[in-house]
Amino acid sequence: MRKMDQFFDIVYPFATENVKDSLGNFDFKNQSVLTVGSSLDQAFHSLFCGAEEVVVYDINTHVKEYYECKKKMLLEAKNRQEFYEKIKGFTQYTSIPIYQKLDGKYRTFSSNIYLESEEAFEKMKEILQKHSLEFQTGSIYKMNMEKTFDRIIFSNILTYLWLVTSKENKKEFFKRNFDKWEKMLNKDGILELCYLYHFERQDLLIDEHKTFIYNLRTIYKTLGVSNLDIFFIPGFFDETDGVLTYTKK
């Protein structure tokens, strides 16, 4: 089995998700946030929307270094286009592409709240000059934190469950870890359990998807909790994407 930290040793220049709409339903004002995401777009979104404290927790050891670079490029860029070109130049040797829409509009611009207008871009600069992020390296399956949060964002990590556990004990492994993550949430806290690419209403009925986390009926049964929700958003790759969340009551 390929080791997790080797699998995720390249930073994502920009998120490959519709961050703006997937996180758009959560209130971030004065909230404490823990998020994965080496692109830092989930963290930037949280800060942009008023989060008080943001901890970036990611298995990739280069995230803090990438943050210094991305922040510098953002602060130095005259506008969004220039920022995008700088990042593109910086990442030309990585294997992760940055996506552009066929109509010529940058996908990255419409899927990130801080890039949706020049005004937003300027606001992000001001925020990054005033606020800092905290960084921790580690796997979400080996977290050992006393601290609790109002928002926890796991991006689409759970689609890679096959990397860390065998087919047989997926349910058990998932439930054990969920119980641990649940304890890290404050009351009324929200956990973005998984960003589901290409997931629509009709997929709710499918229970034989090869990716474990897409089998939502199994997930409901395995976790045995209420307050699991799914909502649908315009997909990053043009189809519909889903967002699976848990709210602690």
What CA–CA distances, in Å, run from 86 to 5, 83, 92, 115?
A: 27, 5, 10, 14
DSSP 100: B
Query: Is residue 35 a contact residue for ligand SAM (CB under 6 A)?
Result: no
Q: Applying CB under 6 A, does 178 fall inside the site for ligand SAM?
A: no
Nearest to ligand SAM of 25, 30 (CB atom): 25
The nearest distance, CB 84 to ligand SAM, in angstroms, is 16
CB nearer ligand SAM, residue 231 or residue 237: 237
58 binds ligand SAM, rule: CB under 6 A: yes
Interaction between residue 18 and ligand SAM (CB under 6 A): no
* Contact residue for ligand SAM among 61, 100, 110, 139 (CB under 6 A): 139
3-state SS class at 208? coil
C-alpha distance across the termini of the chain, in Å: 38
Smaller CB separation from ligand SAM, 31 or 112:
112
Nearer to ligand SAM, 178 or 217 (CB): 178
- CA distance readout (Å), 233 to 81, 182, 197, 198, 228: 25, 25, 10, 10, 17
Contacts with ligand SAM by CB under 6 A: the residue count is 20
| Cβ neighbours of 109 (radius 10 Å) | 20
Listed ranges 35-43, 178-186, 198-206, 211-219: which one lies at the site for ligand SAM (CB under 6 A)? 35-43
Give the residue, chosen from 43, 49, 51, 59, that forms a contact with ligand SAM under the rule CB under 6 A. 59
Tell me 193's DSSP state: E
CB of 238 to ligand SAM, least distance (A): 16
CA torsion 163-166-171-173 (nearest 10°) is -70
d(C-alpha 100, C-alpha 219), whole Å = 33
Q: Which is nearer to ligand SAM, 17 or 53 (CB)?
A: 17
Compute the least distance from the CB of residue 206 to ligand SAM, in Å.
Answer: 21
Closer by beta carbon to ligand SAM, 122 or else 172 = 172
Q: Which is nearer to ligand SAM, 161 or 219 (CB)?
A: 161
Q: What is the DSSP letter of 49?
A: T
d(CA 249, CA 242): 22
In SS3 terms, 218-248 reads as: HHHHHHCCCCEEEEEEECCCCCEEEEEEEEC
Is residue 141 a contact point for ligand SAM (CB under 6 A)? yes
Q: Does 156 bind ligand SAM (CB under 6 A)?
A: yes
| Binding site residues, ligand SAM, CB under 6 A | 4, 8, 12, 15-17, 36-39, 58-60, 139-141, 155-157, 160
